[in-house]
Chain A
């Protein structure tokens, strides 16, 4: 699928370092993401992969190094922060839908408040996105009335409503029952086909093989390997990566 990615980088991460107290969670991370590129990040738990993508929309702040998203450097200036967050969508492991709002309001709130879109337009957009994730009939229900897979699809629609240039997925299927994983992965694959730039932290290796342009393996805060999927799965260069893949693929 590398044909959808062209040369210009939309995310540049250089020598990124982050600590939680004394714990050095990200060590000298270098990563360049081109427009339309799909990167799947995997690695053992505690390897820093979630922290890395959370740095991209500054849910976590880094202490050293540089992150440039769509030409804007992430720093303490709030103006930049709002600009970047409206360009970067994020899907969480635990969905984080707003439980007191209907599905329709969950999806249409941000375009109304952040993009200043008239309510009727925002709702039309929301309905269009709910069709895209194939649950328009749930629009007037509350999140708790939906299955996990449906909730996660609403969460994807909610992010897409901001028309982001980049989507971050933080283990989007890890909290789901097995029979619901595919409906979410299908929506993500559809997004990939449409040319969205995606950073996915996931252990779904079948999805990774089908969608990723680049596989990234992280361990103990470092990027240990970054390679195209064919090479990554058939000839991992390091012992750590080989071991991890053998454990995860034996399932």
Chain B
């Protein structure tokens, strides 16, 4: 975790450099050694559950959606491929913040449904991310040697069986790093859901800023929260990757 120490040192140095200006810091608002700071920290950390939940649900939905779109894009039918292409091009050109706002305010009207902020957040993040997941899956699937397709075809395996038993299991190992990356990215972009009022980390920080009027200290703490969260997740992703790489075969 040398990277983590370095990152924290850089951040601390930046903050200290700021001290030399005219600003008077009020770290007491997030200090773990004072009663005020303690209750504020607990308040800020209470957003953690929503941040993790919205990111997990969104990434799960987006992986499934992205895989379907990628399989459509690689299907023999030209109509399926065109549909997949249009989906990817459209969704990756919509800014995430715009998507969050549109899904929350627009979708319930269009589809005549009720959406809470959590549902709207998950849908918006998943839709935007699925276009990128589809491209990741497509790249991974296409990187599998043509001989694997030919061997599967020559045995008479159906298209779906070939994908399920031969191509995807090999592709998954190759796309795990970009998938992990995408999950980290999702954890960060989940902060956009704060604008529609989901009480996740960023929203909590915003709320505290309004009452404490100490934005610099509180947002600095917010950065540390994301930093810690993402370092832990990156570490977990790398562990899974290593375990998969150590699995008892080398791709031929």
Contacts and interface: CB of A to CB of B under 8 A. Distances in A.
A81 to B, nearest CB: 9
Nearest to A114: B156
A142 B249 contact: yes
Given A85-B155, A158-B155, A162-B156, A144 B249 contact: yes
Interface stretch (B13-21, B129-137, B157-165, B184-192): B157-165
Contacts of B169: 100
A31 B249 CA distance: 42
Contacts of B173: 100
B134 to A, nearest CB: 23
Contact of A85 (B153, B251, B252): B153
Interface in A22-77: 57, 59
B147 A94 contact: yes
Nearest to A155: B151
A90 B154 contact: yes
Contact of B155 (A95, A110, A143): A110
A99 B158 contact: no
Interface string A155-192: 10011001000000000000000000000000000000
Contacts of A19: none
Given A99-B170, A100-B169, A100-B249, A92 B157 contact: no
A82 interface: yes
B150 interface: yes
A96 interface: yes
Interface residues of A, number: 29
B39 interface: no
A144 B250 contact: yes
Contacts of A82: 156, 158
Nearest to A113: B161
A26 to B, nearest CB: 18
Contacts of B150: 59, 90, 92, 96
B142 interface: no
B91 interface: no
A96 B158 contact: no
Nearest to B155: A110
B148 interface: yes
Contact of B252 (A59, A97, A109, A162): A97
Interface string A77-93: 00000100110111010
Contacts of A95: 252
Given A85-B156, A99-B249, A109 B165 contact: yes
A82 B159 CA distance: 11
B176 interface: no
B155 A159 contact: yes
B112 interface: no
A59 B155 CA distance: 11
A159 B152 CA distance: 10
A114 B166 CA distance: 14
B154 A59 contact: yes
A96 B155 contact: no
Contacts of B156: 82, 85-86, 110, 114, 162
Interface in B205-252: 248-252
A48 to B, nearest CB: 18
A143 B165 contact: no
Interface of B: 145, 147-148, 150-151, 153-158, 161, 165-166, 169-170, 173, 248-252
What are the 5 A-B residue pairs with the smallest beta carbon separation, nearest first?
A: A86-B156, A96-B147, A96-B151, A110-B155, A90-B154
Given A59-B153, A158-B155, 12 more contacts: A82-B158, A85-B154, A92-B151, A96-B145, A99-B250, A99-B251, A101-B165, A109-B155, A110-B155, A113-B158, A113-B165, A114-B155
